[in-house]
Structure 1
Amino acid sequence: MYYVGLDGHKDIAVFCIQTNSGTVKEIFSTSADPKGMDELIMKMKGKIYKVLAEASTYTTDLHDYFVIRGVDSYLANPRKLKLITESNSKTDRNDALELANYLRLWDKGELKLSISYIVMGEDRSLRELCRYRMAVSKSKGETMQKIKAHMRRNAEYMDTENLDSRGAMNEIRFRFGDDFILMQLIDDYMLFDTKGNNLDREIEKMCQHREDVKLLTTIPGIGTTTAAEIMSMIVDIGRFGSADRLRAFFGMAPKVRDSSKTVSHGHITRMGDSMMRFVLGLAVNNHCRFCPEGHIARYKRSHKGAMKAGVLMVACENKLLDLIYVILKRKTPYEQR
């Protein structure tokens, strides 16, 4: 068995080939493209080997290329590779060497590595589409805040605080059309609104035959876009052996400190995708509004005032993740309890 560490960059990839005993056979650099990856494949022809790289923008495509060609390739979570990122002797050759060494020790069960789950094909397309949809939604909300702030500073008042509708936008154009900056902000807002609607239609088109997305839409307050955004991260519920692991994946599990006889639980880890925690928060609020007698809404009402707002929201988000886990695992629609 050979172990190959890959340190990938925009234009250059550095490989370190290590034997089963830890001896470095070769370190070489090549282009960070399919031609460069073929160079390694040719060198290792007839040999059994594995490849490890740090997950990044410049290694995902290289990893995909290896996987398609049957190479046993892995991407490690960069947050877990602190020995590389914090090393004083950080060079491309040293990084490739360390990655090869980590891979060898991990394969022998002597070291724990956090291997990233890399989605491919339609799952990756859906994830990227949903990420872009969330970014557009965020930009739309920020633009609305800029509109409201600009109008307040310039004493441009409206009879209603709800400026989200197209009717309100048209009225603003009619009444304050001479305000160039405001008109530009309105144009930006309408652009993001149109983009969001187009993306929603594309997401619905991609998910029209996905049973997991359909199951999540049975939860009151969760539409197709939100369900797709959640599933774009989960991908396959079979990856998670329990609801605890699903919560940990979303960064909603508490930090645990175990020292001697003392065990303490701190704030949530916040690992994973921050955008998805934002989506979970929106989903909880929508669910409580559309299902006021559901167990999450009742819990939120009964603990309001007794818990800090942020702590209460985290608890409700965890309950929603528990609900999502059960629905997907059992493949049964939502039932109010």
Structure 2
Amino acid sequence: MPMNMQYERAFGLDLSKKTFHGCMLDGPDLGNRHFFTGEMGPQGKAKLAGRLCECDLVLMEAGTSSFSLARFLLENTEAEVVVLNPAKLYNIFNSTLKTDKSDSEKIARIARTMPRDEWPTVSIPTKEEQAERSTVSLEVFLAQEITMLVNRLYALFNSMGHPFIKKSDLKTEEARLTLANRLLCEEALAMEQAIMLSNQIEHVADQLEQCKQRLRDICLSHPKEALSLLSLPGVGLMTAASQIAFLNDGSRFNSPDSYVNYVGLSERRFDSGTKVSKGHISHMGNKCIRRNIIQAAWVASTKLKGNPLSMKYKDLILRGKNKPVAAVAIAKKMIQLSYILVKSNGIYEFTKQQGLGAFRRKLQYHKLTQLLDFLPEITKREMEEIDRTKRKEAAATTSSPKKFA
């Protein structure tokens, strides 16, 4: 017997770049199956939409083409459209038989075999959210591209007999060309390659700066969320923008732990009888957020002394944890705090106690001082009062006469 009797027909779709394979289950107990194919172009999507009725269910795996098709079907049909997390569809992910036809049938049979509340659903982003996520992904790609080009130029100098050049010496275009003219002037081919690589680095760097401006626009479009996230020590422009793009206002998740699991920072569990043990983090989640939050955790733990996160990191080290494990623990804590602060539109308490001036300097560094216009008045007054108290204490310390023994 199917577990979800409210559906008259269930459609399972396996998508590729240009085509899709589908399996439709209908009849008593959804026992009859019919296979079909279509194209991912406008005509193919319209033909698929024409097959769907109000009591139909459409299931598909999350992928490059899934969200645009899901939005199209939601806008043009009355069917229920569900996108599933492929990493959690173990009957497909671990299958030895991998064909488009068999996968579409397995997806469709989820309507029969799996209770509705156990489906590993993925929320369908709006076009705006999808564009924000693409911007975040582009920034990661461009940053990695610059790293690859710098490594290539560094390897060129090394191969031409100049191993003492450091990557930090290749940061600016002027420095790169100066070194090339001084060290590679007698090798025409090497000189040409160095100039090409330097020009490419400069070009990608310009694109990266444009992308960072788009990240600032994302933060300014979601000022409350941006203020909450940026109030955490170590969180900068990229970390805040990536979380805004995927977390948004936090309504997608039920709890801090569900957000931790989404990012891929939850521990693997191993159950044996009554014994439950935990292993390393799953790494099965949002790679973009995980990459950035771990970098933010390193900054908060080792560069910004005196905050609660750095003290927790130090405590973990004293308890015998190695540095990477401690940093991941801090990243997990930061993800939990991010969810809590975004849901409550709050400011991290430690940042409040540092005063408005310190917070303003951080926002100035990221060119986001406009966000202060959205800081709640009561919070702004509290932070300004802390600034005044600190100034009075500093003035009293400076004006007090020195005592000599």
TM-score of the pair, normalised by structure 2: 0.74
Asked if the contact 2:38/2:44 (under 8 Å) is kept, the reply is yes
Q: What does 1:18-29 correspond to in 2, within 5 Å?
A: 18-19=25-26, 21-24=29-32, 26-29=34-37
In structure 2, the partner of 1:11 is 18
In structure 2, the partner of 1:316 is 330
Q: Alpha-carbon deviations, 1:17-47, whole Å to 9, x = none?
A: 22361222533223233322333333334x4
Equivalent of 1:97, from 86, 98, 105? 105
**Letter of the structure 1 residue corresponding to residue 48 of structure 2:** L
In structure 1, the partner of 2:131 is 125
How far 1:294 sits from its partner (Å)? 0.5
In structure 1, the partner of 2:387 is none
> Separation in 1 of the partners of 2:279 and 2:167?
43
Change (3 A) 1:289 1:264: closer
In structure 2, the partner of 1:38 is 46
> Separation in 2 of the partners of 1:192 and 1:161?
17
Residue 194 in structure 1 maps to residue 206 in structure 2: yes
Query: SS of the residue aligned with 1:21?
Result: helix
How far 1:54 sits from its partner (Å)? 1.8
Q: What does 1:135-154 correspond to in 2, within 5 Å?
A: 135-153=141-159, 154=161
> Separation in 2 of the partners of 1:257 and 1:140?
40
Asked if the contact 2:249/2:343 (under 8 Å) is kept, the reply is no
> Separation in 2 of the partners of 1:253 and 1:242?
13
Equivalent of 1:249, from 257, 262, 267? 262
Equivalent of 1:206, from 218, 238, 249? 218
**Letter of the structure 2 residue corresponding to residue 137 of structure 1:** A
Q: CA RMSD for the aligned pairs?
A: 2.7
> Separation in 2 of the partners of 1:37 and 1:54?
16
Change (3 A) 1:25 1:257: closer
> Separation in 2 of the partners of 1:266 and 1:96?
33
Q: What does 1:232-247 correspond to in 2, within 5 Å?
A: 232-247=245-260
In structure 1, the partner of 2:85 is 77
More helix by share: 2
Aligned length: 334
**Percent identity, aligned pairs only?**
21
In structure 2, the partner of 1:303 is 316
Equivalent of 1:259, from 264, 272, 286? 272
> Separation in 2 of the partners of 1:18 and 1:89?
20
In structure 1, the partner of 2:346 is 332
Q: Alpha-carbon deviations, 1:52-111, whole Å to 9, x = none?
A: 0122224333222112224311122222234335545544333322222112333x54x8
Asked if the contact 1:34/1:62 (under 8 Å) is kept, the reply is no
**Letter of the structure 1 residue corresponding to residue 145 of structure 2:** S
In structure 2, the partner of 1:291 is 304
Asked if the contact 1:133/1:196 (under 8 Å) is kept, the reply is yes
Identify which range, 163-172 or 123-132, moves more after superposition: 163-172
Change (3 A) 1:138 1:288: same
In structure 2, list runs of 5 or more residues that go unmatched: 1-6, 186-190, 354-405
Change (3 A) 1:96 1:114: same
> Separation in 2 of the partners of 1:312 and 1:245?
21
Identify which range, 310-319 or 70-79, moves more after superposition: 70-79
In structure 2, the partner of 1:175 is 182
**Letter of the structure 2 residue corresponding to residue 191 of structure 1:** H
> Separation in 2 of the partners of 1:318 and 1:250?
9
In structure 1, the partner of 2:68 is 61
Query: SS of the residue aligned with 1:237?
Result: coil
How far 1:204 sits from its partner (Å)? 1.4
> Separation in 1 of the partners of 2:305 and 2:153?
32
Query: SS of the residue aligned with 1:238?
Result: coil
How far 1:271 sits from its partner (Å)? 0.8
Asked if the contact 2:266/2:282 (under 8 Å) is kept, the reply is yes
In structure 1, list runs of 5 or more residues that go unmatched: none
Asked if the contact 1:16/1:24 (under 8 Å) is kept, the reply is no
Identify which range, 152-161 or 266-275, moves more after superposition: 152-161
**Letter of the structure 2 residue corresponding to residue 285 of structure 1:** W
Identify which range, 272-281 or 33-42, moves more after superposition: 33-42
How far 1:325 sits from its partner (Å)? 2.0
In structure 1, the partner of 2:365 is none
Identify which range, 19-28 or 233-242, moves more after superposition: 19-28
> Separation in 2 of the partners of 1:138 and 1:160?
15
